[in-house]
Chains A and B, each alone.
Chain A
Amino acid sequence: MPHLRDPIARLDGVVKRYGRLTALDRVELCLRPGELLALLGPNGAGKTTAIGLLLGLIRADAGTVSLFGQDPQQLGARRRIGVMLQNAELPPTLRVGELLRLTASYYPAPRTLAETAELAGVIDLLKRPYAKLSGGQQRRVQFALALCGRPELLFLDEPTVGMDIEARQKLWAAIRQLLSEGCSVLLTTHYLEEAEALADRVCVMSRGRVIHESTVDALRARVALKRIRCISSVDAGVVGSWPSVSDAEQRQGRLHVTTAEAEAVVRRLLNADPQLSELEVQRAGLAEAFTELTRDAEQALPASQREVA
């Protein structure tokens, strides 16, 4: 029986090698309808290779790759996806409206030009040649191209690189709207706040392996670090030597401490410095959790392998 929660995109035991380098090593990845999965990881982790396989751009050496239950090289499967890649130099002399019409022509039931322009926020750009746009505007146009075909699944590879804060917020709003319409999204990003703002699930990759897969909250909880900030005369080096403190430094006139036991550290700080002021305690963001995770994965490797990268 077909099931609604059947994955729409899937890597199953996939291995991809480039010469002696193993870019993906028995990777499992599964995207279910309607969800946004964020693929995180440092450069060279294998994110782009994973996307390339799902788009049918490259072939796996082992394992299975499927997109809507088909080989991604089948045109029928790709007619249900939209794509925004990291770098694509679009024809410079074509106008934005012409680019949108061309891309929409590849799909069976695309959005109207007006609908696409509205959703992606490019109404004011339609008549302008692509080459005359700023970097952020070009990214917006590429996003418009990704959604113009009314796709069921959107691949967004680092979509907000080069965008200012306002443009990024607008793009997030557009992504949320697409999700609310039932579209699924596979997102790769360097910006952890982007994953925090949008993702249902995160998948952390490192050196060609999936090292963690969970909800955003579960990932954050996994590394139960807290951040303490205050103005204090206590020496950062001294605080750094206290038990359970993983990091301490003076930055912009403030003492920043990262620790798993905030209460104990705060008590000790207050004892050491009665003049302490502007105390703040925060749960660590995804960034800390992520750093911690990739560091663990790093340390788990034998030294010889660590140097190869």
Chain B
Amino acid sequence: METVVSIPLSRTGAPMSRRRVLGAYLAEMRSECLRYLRAPGFILPMTLFSTVFYLMFGVLLNHGEASRYLLASYGAFGIMGPGLFGFGVSLAIERDGGLLTLKRALPMPPGAYLLGKMVMAMIAATIVMVLLLLIGVSLAQVVLSWGQVLALLLTGMFGVLPFCALGMFVGTLLKGQGAPGLLNLVYLPMAFLSGLWLPLSMLPRVLQQVAPIWPSYHLNQLTQAAVGLNDGPLLGHVLVLIGFAAVFLLMAARRLRRHG
């Protein structure tokens, strides 16, 4: 067992003011956002996936109420991307390249690293939502109230968090360039099985019944409610998403502590 001997020292380090600790959190967030906003190769696939899909299926092939439905379901699809990829891929690469090791050795405040990535994912999810809204309102002529627009944006901003936790967990499973492949294997089937591409009513009965096990199913219920297509109670869906986020966050944190 390791024990720590305390050796009396003539000097102690300068104390860190609360203001400087806060400054460290802000600096970390700023850097995380800057570095990815400057990397189009990272940002574009994440944002274009859902917008291109929506253009094809929501604008060219459908209109009216179908466009409204698809705005919400591709919204949910678009929100998942920045969480899964923004978090998972960058974590896997940084574990591989030694950046995470350096940050753990440096006196970075605990949590600043994760908070920085979370804020980055929230911003990216909001960008995706704004793009989809612009397409929906201008090209597909979906009529939305300001309240509905705001609800959709807020759902995007916070709905990304459970997928950050899932992305983080996947990012702890493997290192480097293998992560995007594995994440796509999670992302695309999960989106399909939750009814984000085709309405669940068009899928086989078995798949409809198991759909609630996917977090994206619950996110879709929230985005549908935001555009006025779901009148059911929402609290259950919110709680499932929170629980899902908590479980994967704990599992990921555990792996990071053990394996780095």
* Given A2-B8, A68-B9, A91-B99 contact (CB < 8 Å): yes
B187 → chain A closest CB, angstroms: 24
Contact of A88 among B1, B38, B97 (CB under 8 A): B97
Q: Quick one: which of A81, A102, A149 has the most chain B CB within 10 A? A: A102
In contact, A57 and B35 (Cβ under 8 angstroms): no
* Total residue contacts A-B, CB cutoff 8 A: 133
Query: Which residue of chain B lies nearest to A61 when distances are taken between CB atoms in the complex?
Result: B2
The SS class assigned to the B binding surface is loop
Q: Judge whether B107 and A55 touch: CB under 8 Å.
A: no
The reply on A279 being an interface residue by CB < 8 A is no
Flag whether A87 is at the interface (Cβ < 8 A).
yes
Nearest Cβ in chain B — how far from A206, in angstroms? 24
Contact A63 B7 (CB under 8 A): no
A106 close to B107 (CB less than 8 A): yes
Of the residues A83, A98, A107, A109, contact of B105 by C-beta under 8 Å:
A83
The answer to whether B34 touches A93 (Cβ under 8 A) is yes
Is the CB of B4 closer than 8 A to any CB of chain A?
A: yes
**Quick check: is A303 within 8 A (CB to CB) of the other chain?**
no
B243: Cβ under 8 A from any A Cβ = no
- Chain A residues 92 to 110 lying within 8 A of chain B, measured CB to CB, are 92-94, 98-99, 101-103, 105-109
A70 and B4 within 8 A (CB): yes
Interface membership of chain B positions 1-28, coded 1 if the CB is closer than 8 angstroms to chain A and 0 otherwise: 1111111111111111100100110111
What B residues does A90 contact at CB under 8 A?
99, 102
Q: Is the CB of B9 within 8 A of A85?
A: no
Q: Is the Cβ of B34 less than 8 Å from the Cβ of A83?
A: no
Selected A-B contacts with CB under 8 Å, 6 pairs? A6-B9, A12-B5, A66-B7, A68-B9, A93-B34, A94-B31
Interfacial residues, chain A to chain B (CB-CB below 8 A): 1-4, 6-8, 10, 12, 55-66, 68-71, 75-81, 83, 85-94, 98-99, 101-103, 105-109, 149, 152, 155
Chain B residues in the interface with A (C-beta under 8 A): 1-17, 20, 23-24, 26-28, 30-31, 34-36, 38-39, 94, 97-99, 101-102, 104-110, 260
